[in-house]
Chain A
Amino acid sequence: MDFLTNLINGISLGSIYAIIALGYTMVYGIAKMLNFAHGDVIMVGAYICFCAMGYLGLSPILAVLLSIVGCTVLGIVIERLAYKPLRNAPSLDVLITAIGVSYFLENAALLIWKSDPKSFTSVVDLPSLSLFDGQLVISGVTMVTVLACVVIMIALTTFTTKSKQGKAMRACSEDQGAARLMGINVDSTISLTFAIGSGLAAIAGVLLCSAYPTLTPTTGLMPGIKAFVAAVLGGIGSIPGAVLGGVLLGIIEIFAKAYIGTQMSDAVVFAVLIIALLIKPSGLLGKQIKEKV
């Protein structure tokens, strides 16, 4: 039963990584930049939800919605102020800016909410599911997290393959110049991508803190990096890849914690990334693009 419990915990943690990784992968796919501030948006989302429930007394659902709206706006503002002026700059400049935005958000959170850890109240108020005479217990948060991840993946896949705006996103991700020739407004498409990615980050933040209820200004840091690893492992730019990478990473991390040791778990996670990239540099589901001349 330990094995099953660990597996379920791994899938649950992995689903959170997957939701964060989806944001990373979409922004990378369309804007061709690594938004290292993505992890900190998660933290902001969790704080918004925490304050909405704790200070404003909103219901969990409303608090989550407020958090999504807040992060969506934050994502658009970050893109406009920090990244848009660098649209034609070398990618290293953009990368450094993203790290700067990350520090800015962490320190702003430190000013506003102080460094003392907040105890986050779970937004999920569902009873646990008890199986095999109580030997296997699946918490409400776990069920909601996995469900949310599946729903988000399906919604995003449908959006990018069926809707006009979603197809325009894929067009931008392949060739921005050609997309502009089609009449697609690349700037607003990039804004939309940041909005979606940041909205997802809010959901991830709330679910993360519901499962691991300690909230500090650096809460988003490690999950952000792990989700980045997940996105690269799955093949950056690929939606199913981000989910596969996220879930795999979550499972590996929990098993490493259970069978190798807590201190080694992160090392194992990153070792897996290195090995996977040595074998398949484009990631598990990443596409190698061939060009015909």
Chain B
Amino acid sequence: MSMLNVDDISVYYGNIRAVKGISFTVEEGEIVTLVGANGAGKSTTLNTIAGLLKPKHGRVEFEGENLASAKAHDIVRKGIALCPEGRRVFLQMSVRENLEMGAFTRDDSEAKETIETVFERFPRLKERENQSAGTLSGGEQQMLAMGRALMSKPRLLMLDEPSMGLAPILVEEIFDIIDELHKSGTTVLLVEQNAQMALSIADRAYVLETGTVSMSGTAAELANDDRVRKAYLGG
């Protein structure tokens, strides 16, 4: 049984069908990436799994459980965390408070321990512990968003465009961290426009085009596919 099983979901914004019957799976321990252009439905898919949007058709199953009736705030408790597009950290709250919010579903004492492990992984956050998140640089905010998502100790971590708007050196750093997280046992579902980076660390990939899956395979296969190279990897 797959850890995550997305089965033929369609998602609408009003009358606009943004996701048109997407199916894919994520196995435990994998990094799976969804690549594709703007508007392909990548973020919509992640937001649907996280429960912020509800599919009109199809089902999302996590560890065998149908998430159809679960509210977004319940889905975190089941072990799925989404680090959203655009980071969406709480700008007026301190770094520490942001992390505490990430552990909202857990005991305070457990949360304290997890904060320390997040600080070990992101030492720069520790230095800025009491600063408000609004004073952080873009890269630091991305690290905070990822740290905050890790606070719920998710079994499946979903990352939506973690490299967006970051300098190339920071992109490398973020991807190194994703790789480390994966090695320490977290399953990752990654959405990226930076297909090259995404395919370099992923096990498997799905290419999304205008709301449907147009191709799928191992990351290595897709990285060598002519169509993918032309469309997403700059030739």
Decide if B92 touches A181 in the complex (CB within 8 Å).
Answer: no
A178 to B86, CA, bound (A): 11
Check if B119 is an interface residue, CB within 8 A of chain A.
no
Decide if A170 touches B92 in the complex (CB within 8 Å).
Answer: yes
Please indicate the chain A residues that have their CB under 8 angstroms from the CB of B134 in the complex: 289-290, 292
Decide if A185 touches B73 in the complex (CB within 8 Å).
Answer: yes
Check if A182 is an interface residue, CB within 8 A of chain B.
yes
Decide if B141 touches A181 in the complex (CB within 8 Å).
Answer: no
The B140-165 residues at the A interface (CB cut-off 8 A) are 141, 148-149, 152, 165
The B80-137 residues at the A interface (CB cut-off 8 A) are 81-82, 84, 88-93, 97, 100-102, 104-105, 108, 134, 136-137
Check if B20 is an interface residue, CB within 8 A of chain A.
no
Check if A293 is an interface residue, CB within 8 A of chain B.
yes
- The smallest beta-carbon distance between A229 and chain B, in angstroms, is 24
Q: Which of A171, A185, A186, A290 contacts B101 (CB 8 A)?
A: A171
A291 to B134, CA, bound (A): 7
A171 to B133, CA, bound (A): 12
Which of A180, A181, A290 has the most B CB atoms < 10 Å from its CB?
A181
Check if B52 is an interface residue, CB within 8 A of chain A.
yes
Chain A residue nearest to B108 in the complex (CB): A164
Please indicate the chain B residues that have their CB under 8 angstroms from the CB of A181 in the complex: 50, 52, 72, 76, 81-82, 84, 88, 149
Please indicate the chain A residues that have their CB under 8 angstroms from the CB of B81 in the complex: 181
Please indicate the chain A residues that have their CB under 8 angstroms from the CB of B101 in the complex: 167-168, 171, 179, 182, 184
- The smallest beta-carbon distance between A133 and chain B, in angstroms, is 50
Please indicate the chain A residues that have their CB under 8 angstroms from the CB of B72 in the complex: 180-181
Decide if A175 touches B82 in the complex (CB within 8 Å).
Answer: no
Please indicate the chain A residues that have their CB under 8 angstroms from the CB of B137 in the complex: 292
Please indicate the chain B residues that have their CB under 8 angstroms from the CB of A186 in the complex: 73
Check if B138 is an interface residue, CB within 8 A of chain A.
yes
Q: Which of B50, B71, B93, B141 contacts A292 (CB 8 A)?
A: B141
Check if B77 is an interface residue, CB within 8 A of chain A.
yes
Chain B residue nearest to A168 in the complex (CB): B104
Chain B residue nearest to A167 in the complex (CB): B97
Give the total of A residues in contact with B, Cβ under 8 Å: 23
A175 to B148, CA, bound (A): 14
A180 to B74, CA, bound (A): 9
A168 to B108, CA, bound (A): 14
Q: Which of B84, B91, B138 contacts A293 (CB 8 A)?
A: B138
A170 to B73, CA, bound (A): 16
Please indicate the chain B residues that have their CB under 8 angstroms from the CB of A164 in the complex: 100, 104, 108
Please indicate the chain A residues that have their CB under 8 angstroms from the CB of B51 in the complex: 180
Decide if B93 touches A177 in the complex (CB within 8 Å).
Answer: no
- The smallest beta-carbon distance between A119 and chain B, in angstroms, is 46
Please indicate the chain B residues that have their CB under 8 angstroms from the CB of A178 in the complex: 84, 88-90
Decide if A174 touches B91 in the complex (CB within 8 Å).
Answer: yes
Decide if A289 touches B73 in the complex (CB within 8 Å).
Answer: no
Chain B residue nearest to A165 in the complex (CB): B104
Q: Which of A184, A291, A292 contacts B104 (CB 8 A)?
A: A184
The A194-250 residues at the B interface (CB cut-off 8 A) are none
Check if A287 is an interface residue, CB within 8 A of chain B.
yes
A293 to B166, CA, bound (A): 9
Please indicate the chain A residues that have their CB under 8 angstroms from the CB of B138 in the complex: 292-293
Which of B51, B73, B84, B97 has the most A CB atoms < 10 Å from its CB?
B73
Decide if B77 touches A174 in the complex (CB within 8 Å).
Answer: no
Interface mask (A54-93 → B, CB under 8 Å = 1, otherwise 0): 0000000000000000000000000000000000000000
Which residues of A are interface residues toward B (Cβ below 8 A)? 164, 167-168, 170-171, 174-175, 177-186, 287, 289-293
Q: Could you list 24 examples of A-B contacts with CB < 8 Å? A: A167-B97, A167-B101, A174-B92, A177-B84, A178-B84, A178-B90, A180-B71, A180-B73, A181-B50, A181-B72, A181-B84, A181-B88, A182-B73, A182-B101, A183-B104, A184-B73, A185-B71, A186-B73, A287-B92, A289-B91, A290-B134, A292-B136, A292-B137, A292-B141
Other than the known A179-B101, A181-B76, A181-B149, what 19 A-B pairs have Cβ atoms closer than 8 Å? A164-B100, A164-B104, A164-B108, A168-B101, A168-B104, A170-B97, A171-B90, A171-B101, A175-B90, A178-B89, A180-B72, A180-B73, A181-B50, A181-B82, A182-B73, A183-B77, A287-B92, A289-B92, A292-B134
Which residues of B are interface residues toward A (Cβ below 8 A)? 50-52, 71-74, 76-77, 81-82, 84, 88-93, 97, 100-102, 104-105, 108, 134, 136-138, 141, 148-149, 152, 165
